């Protein structure tokens, strides 16, 4: 099956490994992620000011691109893109006047009719492949790998866009179990990583990284799994700064869920792009017998 795919800017730059591993693993599941022929930045943060329509133009313009391609569904990977596109879609559905205003502003575009759905890849796989079938397709199970699943904020909140129950989600845990991993109980699964404060308030992020990774370690995890290039930067790359501040800090590999899925489904290792991970997961994965 083919589905429209919105990559967003970061997957083309610092998080290329998220995209390559997603395209590869989706293909192994029979899903062709077809990148939109044109797209722009989603705006990254959904505007919460009720009198601000300007910042909803970017996400809605992207949804017009999806509509132009005759598609009723669009899949995203980045949590920030997912949150912004989906919240904007829900907004114009709830407020027809706002939609009219945005359509009038973009008078050279065709009108947006809010009848398409924004999906995160996890939901798309669960709904269209199913975890039973996913399990059947596993050729290299993640046996013995203890995984802490980290959702962060933007996949679970606010309620209008949540992938699953926002306090006790299971959607990514069930996926990891289908891939053969052992999921550990991890209370910081829906905490905030400090997000964009990584630029300007680095110390705040270092404290978060220390807290979140140390807790995962304490709970017995081998790796942390997530779905956001921002969380990934803070929880993986900022481990360098965390270690400088706290010499006794113990590092841990942080992976995109698609990287583990690609390994479990027998995808090409090159598509995992592990060279972009700050903490190299390869020694651990070899130690567990998951990689040869």
Applying CB under 8 A, the residues found at the interface with another protein are 8-10, 13-15, 41, 43-45, 47-52, 55, 78, 80, 152-153, 157-159, 166, 190-192, 194-201, 204, 207-208, 229-230, 233, 237
- Helix orientation angle between 16-28 and 121-128, rounded to the nearest 10 degrees: 0
Compute the Cα dihedral for 284, 287, 291, 292 and give only its sign.
positive
Cβ neighbours of 106 (radius 10 Å): 14
Tell me if residue 168 falls in helix, strand or coil: coil
Tell me if residue 46 falls in helix, strand or coil: coil
Nearer to another protein, 42 or 265 (CB): 42
User: Closest distance between another protein and the C-beta of residue 278, in Å?
Assistant: 10
DSSP-derived secondary structure letter, 37: S
Query: If you search the block for the tokens 């404060």, which residue do you land on?
Result: 197
Nearer to another protein, 176 or 235 (CB): 235
User: Closest distance between another protein and the C-beta of residue 39, in Å?
Assistant: 14
Nearer to another protein, 80 or 263 (CB): 80
User: How many whole angstroms separate alpha carbon 188 and alpha carbon 214?
Assistant: 10
User: Closest distance between another protein and the C-beta of residue 193, in Å?
Assistant: 9
User: How many whole angstroms separate alpha carbon 90 and alpha carbon 161?
Assistant: 8
Q: What is the largest CA-CA distance in the chain?
A: 59
Q: What single string gives the DSSP state of each residue in 215-279? A: HHHHTT-SEEEES-HHHHIIIIITHHHHHHH-TTPPP--EEEHHHHHHHHTT--GGGG-GGG-SS
User: Closest distance between another protein and the C-beta of residue 139, in Å?
Assistant: 32
Nearer to another protein, 52 or 104 (CB): 52
Nearer to another protein, 182 or 191 (CB): 191
User: Closest distance between another protein and the C-beta of residue 29, in Å?
Assistant: 26
Nearer to another protein, 44 or 67 (CB): 44
User: Closest distance between another protein and the C-beta of residue 160, in Å?
Assistant: 10
In contact, 242 and 278? CB cutoff 8 Å? no
User: How many whole angstroms separate alpha carbon 21 and alpha carbon 200?
Assistant: 30
User: Closest distance between another protein and the C-beta of residue 158, in Å?
Assistant: 5
Return the closest-CA partner of residue 152 out of 100, 82, 96, 62: 82
Nearer to another protein, 91 or 272 (CB): 91
User: Closest distance between another protein and the C-beta of residue 291, in Å?
Assistant: 25
Nearer to another protein, 46 or 124 (CB): 46
In contact, 236 and 208? CB cutoff 8 Å? no
């Amino acid at each position: 099956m083919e589905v429209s795919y919105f990559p967003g800017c970061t997957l083309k730059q610092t998080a290329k490994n998220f995209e390559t591993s997603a395209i590869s693993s989706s293909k192994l599941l029979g899903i062709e992620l077809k990148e939109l022929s044109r797209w722009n930045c989603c705006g990254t943060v959904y505007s919460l000011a009720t009198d601000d329509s300007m910042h909803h133009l970017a996400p809605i313009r992207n949804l017009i691109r999806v509509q132009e391609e005759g598609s009723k569904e669009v899949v995203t990977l980045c949590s920030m893109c997912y949150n912004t596109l989906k919240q904007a879609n829900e907004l114009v559905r709830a407020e027809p006047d706002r939609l009219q205003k945005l359509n009038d502003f973009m008078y050279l575009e065709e009108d947006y009719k809010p009848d398409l759905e924004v999906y995160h890849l996890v939901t798309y796989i669960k709904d269209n492949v199913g975890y039973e079938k996913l399990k059947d397709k596993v050729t290299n199970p993640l046996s013995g790998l203890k995984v802490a699943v980290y959702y962060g904020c933007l996949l679970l909140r606010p309620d209008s866009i949540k992938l699953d129950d926002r306090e006790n989600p299971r959607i990514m845990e069930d996926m990891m179990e289908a891939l053969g991993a052992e999921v550990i109980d991890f209370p910081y699964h829906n905490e905030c990583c400090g997000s964009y404060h990584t630029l300007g308030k680095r110390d705040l992020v270092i404290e978060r990284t220390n807290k979140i990774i140390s807790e995962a370690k304490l709970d017995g995890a081998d790796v942390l799994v997530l779905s956001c290039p921002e969380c990934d930067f803070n929880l993986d790359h900022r481990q360098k700064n965390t270690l400088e501040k706290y010499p006794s800090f113990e590092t841990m590999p942080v992976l995109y869920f698609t990287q583990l899925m690609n390994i479990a489904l027998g995808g090409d290792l090159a598509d995992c792009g592990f060279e972009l991970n700050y903490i190299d997961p390869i020694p651990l994965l070899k130690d567990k017998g998951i990689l040869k």
